[in-house]
Chains A and B, each alone.
Chain A
Amino acid sequence: MILDSNAFISTRIENPFFKIVYPEEGDVLALIDTGYEGFLAVPPDIYRLLKLDELQQHSLRIILPNGETLESKGVYATVRITDTNASIDGLIETFDDLKEVIAGQELISNFKLVLDYCRKTVEVRKCNII
């Protein structure tokens, strides 16, 4: 869906090691950010709810447009794109002050996305490798 000209996809985030799903019911909207090179970034509170902080962390770094860097951390977990029911494994990260769930290049490169700003919809399909 498109809200305030921002494109979102509906997701469910899973920690398969503790069998925890966020959210427990329904979906969480992830902002599609083609300028983000990672897989999925989530706010620290969601990271904790999923108990991703209890797994052994990979140290990462985020580079902001102005060249500043932020320390980030991440672990492997699963994202289900609810419109397609497809599950993709990837490195989910978090960093201080992040307020939104952000879907980056590594995640969306698995899908065909059609942004329809006329109808305010985002159509998602899993890639068919041809």
Chain B
Amino acid sequence: MGIITVVISDELENEIRRLISNEKTAKKGALSKLVEDALWAYIRPKLYSNRRVFKALKDNRVVAEASSLNELAEKLRNAGIDPREVKIFSSVSYRKERRIGLRGSRV
């Protein structure tokens, strides 16, 4: 476990302590958990967005990969591969079925 010393405003500290003391299940380590959760919430989108990779597959073999489609297209051009011959996939999966339009449910 790492230990980090940080300086925060009195206002934020008071709000955090008030929040934790209001939690019915408040216990030792609650502040560390809150800080850890907050930091993960901060960095997760950055890690996630940085990790997106596009891959071009030909005959089930990866022939090029890149972090953007422009870069991938450039790599295919440089390799002399016709984009029609490959299927592009993303490391971020998509829903095969997607809904469209207004929806409601009976109450």
Those of A9-50 within 8 Å (CB) of chain B: 16-19, 33, 35-39, 41
Q: How many chain A residues touch B (Cβ–Cβ < 8 Å)? A: 35
Given contacts A56-B88, A130-B42, contact A35 B97 (CB under 8 A): no
With A76-B69, A77-B69, A89-B68: A56-B98 Cβ-Cβ less than 8 Å: no
Asked if A63 lies at the interface with its beta carbon under 8 angstroms from chain B, I say yes
The reply to whether the CB of A78 lies closer than 8 angstroms to some CB of chain B is yes
A-B contact count (CB 8 A): 92
Chain B residues near A104 (CB, 8 Å)?
98, 100
Residues in chain B near residue A102, CB distance under 8 A: 100
Cross-chain contact B100 with A75 (CB below 8 angstroms):
no
Query: Does B31 reach chain A (CB closer than 8 Å)?
Result: no
Whether A64 and B69, one on each chain, are in contact in the complex, defined by CB atoms closer than 8 angstroms, is no
**Could you list which residues of chain A lie within 8 angstroms of chain B, going by C-beta atoms?**
16-19, 33, 35-39, 41, 54-56, 58-65, 69, 75-78, 87, 89, 91, 102, 104, 106, 129-130
Chain B residues with a Cβ under 8 A of chain A: 42, 45-46, 49, 52, 54, 68-70, 72-73, 76, 83-84, 86-88, 90, 94-104
24 contacts between A and B (CB under 8 A): A16-B73, A17-B76, A19-B73, A35-B100, A35-B103, A36-B99, A36-B100, A36-B101, A37-B100, A38-B94, A38-B95, A38-B100, A54-B84, A55-B87, A55-B88, A56-B86, A56-B87, A63-B98, A63-B99, A65-B104, A69-B97, A75-B88, A89-B69, A129-B45
